[in-house]
């Protein structure tokens, strides 16, 4: 194991976080996923040594880190708001932790494409640039592992998509294992090899992101991930801003995200899927998939209906709707949803 962290952290009169994190050698990116207040950042801070454990242990590459000062842990930590030193220029920020600067600042800056910014002040940088400078600063020290706390949350929505794919490429090219804290399922699917879902200070489920999203073992996990259908799909045709995908033995239409990618994760939220008995004559929804009901499961105030439409599609509908449509296992049904309700995440 690269990292064994058995974390038990109690805050005075506050919440308790109990989490067990295992990172085997070879897993490059681990996602800590969950709603805010789930204890993700606490786990990250404990691994970094910024919080003392109440009980438990942290072992990295066979060395006991439990009581080691944060300075002595060869980690790169990316703070949520990046925490660049405002009184230092970009060059001095990147070189801050480097003892002998034999060109390392320039090399790291070139790698992260911030070499043009070296003489600027942090306040003169955009959010995406700040993130790259903060990453460069963390990398300049040659860390054995990277810890990233909500790396994309400080960015506006337009920048986020662009920076996310850049970050995914970068993290893979570095060959340094990383733990990424996020509450955004798009981040989790784009970046993660392994994923831990946390809620209420505990780890609820561990596994590859796609598996966790499609087969949540807890209702809390399902609620936390908030997307019920995640399946692999391949674009077979693009036409007028719409991408037509082959998914399982079925097909569907989605808003075309652009680019050259053909292999995607197809993500559909259960609330966005409508069930109808007959086929509607005219509708703005692009997808009318006929299918067979596989399962009808109560899920809180709603009912989860799993439909075989060439692939497993999950709809969340009211109990009243289930009764009105007379839905039982084996019923024939049309699943209706808009092309814009389909979220495509590139697989590469």
Q: Which residues bind other proteins (CB under 8 A)?
A: 48, 50, 69-72, 74-77, 79, 81, 83-87, 96-97, 121, 123-124, 137-138, 141
Residue closer to other proteins by CB (options 146, 339) is 146
CB of 255 to other proteins, least distance (A): 31
Closer residue to other proteins in complex, CB, 180/345: 180
Q: How far is the CB of 104 from other proteins (least distance, A)?
A: 13
Closer residue to other proteins, CB minimum distance, 94 or 315: 94
In the block, residue with structure tokens 């259960």: 270
Nearer to other proteins, 67 or 318 (CB): 67
Q: Minimum distance from CB of 83 to other proteins (Å)?
A: 4
At 53, list the tokens: 């454990």
Give the three-class secondary structure for 306. Answer: strand
Question: Quick one: 7 exposed, middle or buried, by C-beta within 10 A (0-12, 13-18, 19+)?
Answer: buried
Which is nearer to other proteins, 12 or 260 (by Cβ)?
12
Least distance CB 219 / other proteins (angstroms): 35
- List own/partner pairs for 110-113 with CB under 8 A and 24 or more apart: 111/136, 111/139, 112/136, 112/139, 112/170
Q: How far is the CB of 96 from other proteins (least distance, A)?
A: 5
Written as six digits, the tokens of 144 are 């054995």
Instruction: Give just the sign of the alpha carbon dihedral 333, 339, 345, 348.
Output: positive
What 3-state DSSP class applies to 69?
coil
């Amino acid at each position: 194991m690269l990292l064994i962290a058995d974390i038990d952290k109690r805050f005075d009169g506050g919440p308790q976080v109990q989490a067990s994190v295992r990172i085997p050698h070879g897993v490059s990116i681990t996602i800590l996923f969950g709603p805010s207040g789930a204890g993700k950042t606490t786990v990250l801070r404990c691994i970094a040594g910024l919080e003392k454990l109440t009980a438990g242990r942290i072992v990295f590459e066979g060395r006991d880190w439990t009581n080691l000062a944060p300075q002595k842990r060869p980690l790169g930590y990316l703070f949520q708001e990046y925490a660049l030193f405002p009184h230092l220029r970009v060059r001095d920020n990147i070189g801050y932790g480097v003892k002998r600067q034999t060109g390392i600042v320039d090399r790291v800056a070139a790698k992260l494409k911030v070499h043009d910014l070296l003489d600027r002040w942090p306040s003169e940088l955009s959010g995406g640039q700040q993130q790259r400078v903060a990453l460069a600063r963390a990398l300049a020290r040659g860390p054995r592992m990277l810890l990233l706390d909500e790396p994309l949350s400080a960015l506006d929505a337009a920048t986020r998509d662009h920076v996310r794919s850049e970050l995914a490429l970068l993290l893979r090219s570095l060959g340094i294992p990383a733990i990424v804290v996020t509450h955004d399922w798009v981040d989790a699917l784009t970046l993660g090899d392994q994923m831990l879902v946390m809620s209420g200070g505990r780890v609820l489920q561990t596994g590859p992101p796609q598996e966790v999203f499609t087969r949540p073992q807890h209702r809390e996990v399902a609620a936390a991930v908030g997307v019920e259908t995640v399946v692999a799909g391949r674009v077979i045709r693009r036409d007028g801003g719409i991408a037509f995908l082959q998914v399982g033995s079925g097909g569907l239409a989605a808003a075309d995200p652009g680019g050259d990618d053909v292999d995607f994760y197809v993500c559909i939220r259960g609330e966005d899927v409508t069930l109808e008995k007959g086929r509607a004559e005219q509708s703005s929804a692009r997808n009318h998939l006929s299918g067979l009901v596989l399962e009808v499961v109560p899920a809180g105030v709603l009912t989860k209906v799993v439909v075989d439409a060439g692939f497993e599609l999950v709809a969340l509908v009211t109990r009243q709707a289930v009764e009105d449509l007379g839905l039982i296992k084996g019923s024939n049904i049309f699943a209706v949803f808009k092309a814009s309700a389909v979220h495509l995440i590139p697989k590469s």
